[in-house]
Amino acid sequence: MVDCAVKDWDGKEVGSASLDLQVAKEASAAHIVHRALVRQMANARQGTVSTKTRAEVSGGGRKPWRQKGTGRARAGSNRSPLWRGGGVIFGPKPRDYSIKMNRKERRLALRTAFQSRVEDLIVVQDFAEKLPRPKTKDLANALKGWGVEPGSKVLLILGERNEMVYLSARNIANLRLISANNLNVFDLLAADQIVATTSALTKIQEVYGG
């Protein structure tokens, strides 16, 4: 179990919150998190890129010149991969890059990744009511008050999506906003610092607690 200090909108400590997640054993933690990360990145690939082989390129049915007597190399088609406008050798074709991983393993990897970032985690009170209208400057000042370092990549986790918070956060550089339901390994590992609201922490504990 890990105890985290909770900060209010002004950056003052007003309480504490606990986080108790069942994580992978130390010997296999890096392996399972790596597998989950590779799976997420592979599943994001569309796999729609396609090239044509020499059989699929139109034209090229006639022999460009006779076989012998010209002094040039023999050629049977002007759609050879050696020719400009010809086919592609071993080019990419549409394929499925998806990788399967058991649901229990995915959740274990997510819990392990989240627990590994506890030192960079900042827990704050829910602040949606502090932004009755979109105000990027107010949210940026709040991030500074919470101890977020300038220029660092920040992951802001909310219990539920709030439109005013989203509109206030979208113009802040290096800030990614997600809800607790969309928690993923890549965002957890890519961020320099993680800011989570108390409701987000509660939902993560309920859903992914183990």
Please indicate, yes or no, whether residues 70 and 159 belong to a single structural domain of this protein. Answer: no
Please indicate, yes or no, whether residues 13 and 81 belong to a single structural domain of this protein. Answer: no
Please indicate, yes or no, whether residues 136 and 91 belong to a single structural domain of this protein. Answer: no
The dihedral sign for the CA sequence 52, 56, 58, 63:
positive
pLDDT tops 90 at residue 206: no
82 pLDDT tier (thresholds 50, 70, 90)? very high
Please indicate, yes or no, whether residues 27 and 128 belong to a single structural domain of this protein. Answer: yes
Across the beta sheet with 154-158, the strand order is 13-19, 2-7, 121-124, 193-197, 154-158, 175-179
Please indicate, yes or no, whether residues 17 and 70 belong to a single structural domain of this protein. Answer: no
* Domain boundaries, position 41: 2-45+98-208
pLDDT tops 80 at residue 1: no
What is the CATH classification number for the domain harbouring 105? 3.40.1370.10
What is the tally of structural domains in the chain?
2
- Tell me whether residue 80 is exposed, middle or buried, using C-beta atoms within 10 angstroms of its C-beta: 0 to 12, 13 to 18, 19 or more: middle
* Rounded-to-integer distance, Cα 159 and Cα 131, Å: 16
Please indicate, yes or no, whether residues 184 and 90 belong to a single structural domain of this protein. Answer: no
What whole-number percentage of the chain has pLDDT above 90?
83
pLDDT tops 80 at residue 209: no
Rounded to the nearest 5 degrees, what angle is found at the Cα of 46, between the Cα atoms of 44 and 47? 125
Determine the pLDDT at residue 210.
62
Mean pLDDT in residue range 24-38:
94
Please indicate, yes or no, whether residues 200 and 182 belong to a single structural domain of this protein. Answer: yes
Please indicate, yes or no, whether residues 15 and 26 belong to a single structural domain of this protein. Answer: yes
Please indicate, yes or no, whether residues 147 and 166 belong to a single structural domain of this protein. Answer: yes
Please indicate, yes or no, whether residues 108 and 203 belong to a single structural domain of this protein. Answer: yes
Please indicate, yes or no, whether residues 113 and 85 belong to a single structural domain of this protein. Answer: no
Cα distances (angstroms) measured from residue 52 to each of 61, 82, 113, 125, 151: 16, 14, 42, 56, 45
Please indicate, yes or no, whether residues 111 and 204 belong to a single structural domain of this protein. Answer: yes
* Rounded-to-integer distance, Cα 16 and Cα 18, Å: 7
Each residue of 99-131: pLDDT tens digit?
999 999 999 999 999 999 999 999 999 999 999
Crossing angle for the helix pair 103-116 and 26-43, to the nearest 10 degrees: 110
Q: Six-digit token pair at 50?
A: 């396609």
